[in-house]
A and B are shown apart, each in its own frame.
Chain A
């Protein structure tokens, strides 16, 4: 079975400094991996996804993630945090079912951005 582990439940950064949200995955085959963001009282929005093409994936709002098979990691980064980035972030792996796939969510990392 596939799973993801988000290593930090909370991350706090100052505005303008880099963001690093860590995620490790477990998968018996080449996984599809996603990062979703959830702003307060809003729905889940896809930031980016890895589907076995380029290992460095660029997403929306300046976020990117690098798939590292040797480390089973898919960490999310952004060079410079903005106040609007404050939200909860979910690392997600797609798990095969009979004829489709379901998403397995990590426990989430809440990002706080200090002015």
Chain B
């Protein structure tokens, strides 16, 4: 079956521009997660959705970052006024219900480069 997909696979933008990253989770998965992988910080949690609501936004690094999920499916991560330190690989994952024992399935990621 189809896995988690993300688009675009690569995004190059200029400092100060806004970007939108998209995630399509596995069909039927109610839990969706965003993570960021960067050289200096490793893999870090950004935000979690259960259905369309985000009970935990604690990982968002600043108010320039926001995310939404519609129809319990597709999610968009938006970064406003991008900065060079936002350059990283943004990973999306989904799991069936969000329990501790559930496997999180990861997409291939979006590599963001801010010039």
Contacts and interface: CB of A to CB of B under 8 A. Distances in A.
Interface in B51-106: 55-56, 59, 91, 93, 98-106
Contacts of B56: 97-98, 100, 102
Interface string A21-58: 00000000000101010000011111001010000000
A98 B42 CA distance: 24
A98 B55 contact: yes
Contact of B45 (A49, A102, A107): A102
B107 A43 contact: yes
A43 B100 contact: no
Sort chain A's interface into a size bin: 20 to 34
Contacts of A101: 98-100, 102
B26 to A, nearest CB: 13
B107 A97 contact: no
A54 to B, nearest CB: 13
Contacts of B91: 43-44
B42 A99 contact: no
A90 B91 CA distance: 15
Contacts of B100: 32, 51, 94, 96, 101
